[in-house]
A = this chain, B = another copy of it.
Amino acid sequence: MTYCLGIITSTGLVMAADSRTNAGVDYISSYKKLFDFSIAGERALFLCTSGNLAVTQAAITLMARDIKTAAEPNLHSLTNLYDVARYIGSKLRALQLEDREWLEKDKIDCSCNILLGGQICGEEPGLYLIYSQGNFIQASKETPFLQIGETKYGKPILDRILNFDTPLQAAAKCALLSIDSTMKSNISVGPPINLVMYEIDSFKVRYELKLKIGAPYLRKIRTLWEISLNQAFERMPDIDWEHYLELPDERTTED
């Protein structure tokens, strides 16, 4: 499994991904799932991938090759994010066309998702979720984050902490906590965690990190978060059972 997360705020973008891949519980390995196709001074482009690893690796390879061979269009030549998302979708469609029939013979799921976040000079920053089918949706002020992979465990914290006006450093912290919550509840999501924080109009990757297993910061936030949650829990008022007693006519006993 995988968990990747993109956040867009009024001041920038955060992209984060775990690195665990598994085909069954007995074949677990690490693959980077956050890819940086930025050009300093001109464009910031980050991709996160989830789903069938063969498909996403192939897509990344083909896109990197297009840049290298200057085949048009490519991630470095396209002039706006909408077209970049379309281009990524077209790569996924081409791969499905080639491989799907063979995978389906053995009932192998060839679905995958890609998060695209970035900004191209002269344009607003944007965050997209591209589906297996090649179509996509875009994050908005109302829904400032998009997730792919094992999304549910890490969503409650985002729902409660994040909004479009959250400071960028706080959004990055929130992304790490969201991934940490997921790792705690699902062993198929695991470190290293890759994280990028991009400041709007900087066109430069200034904040980028990789948290390996046992990284002190990761341990620190996990411990602190657990202590804080437990303290918060202690402070919650007890249940007032009398007040909310269920009425007898609503019971469903023996009939």
Expressed in whole angstroms, the Cα–Cα distance for A68 and B172 within the complex equals 59
- Residue in contact with A244 in the complex, picked from B38, B209, B235, B251, CB distance below 8 Å: B209
Expressed in whole angstroms, the Cα–Cα distance for A156 and B157 within the complex equals 10
- Residue in contact with A239 in the complex, picked from B159, B169, B253, CB distance below 8 Å: B169
Q: Is A141 an interface residue (CB 8 A)?
A: no
- Which residues of A200-215 are within 8 A (CB) of B? 207-211, 215
Q: Is A238 an interface residue (CB 8 A)?
A: yes
> How many whole Å from A29's CB to the nearest CB in chain B?
16
Contacting pair B245 A221 (CB below 8 A): no
Expressed in whole angstroms, the Cα–Cα distance for A194 and B250 within the complex equals 11
Please name all residues of chain B whose beta carbon is closer than 8 Å to the beta carbon of A252 when the two chains form the complex: 32, 35-36, 60
Q: Is A28 an interface residue (CB 8 A)?
A: no
Expressed in whole angstroms, the Cα–Cα distance for A32 and B36 within the complex equals 50
List the number of copies, as a whole number.
2
Please name all residues of chain B whose beta carbon is closer than 8 Å to the beta carbon of A136 when the two chains form the complex: none
Please name all residues of chain B whose beta carbon is closer than 8 Å to the beta carbon of A100 when the two chains form the complex: none
A 142-183 to B, binary, CB cutoff 8 A, 1 in contact else 0: 000000000011111101110000000110111011000100
Q: Is A241 an interface residue (CB 8 A)?
A: yes
Beyond A181-B156, A185-B156, whether A236 also contacts B211 by CB under 8 A is no
Nearest neighbor of A233 in chain B, beta-carbon distance: B161
> How many whole Å from A54's CB to the nearest CB in chain B?
17
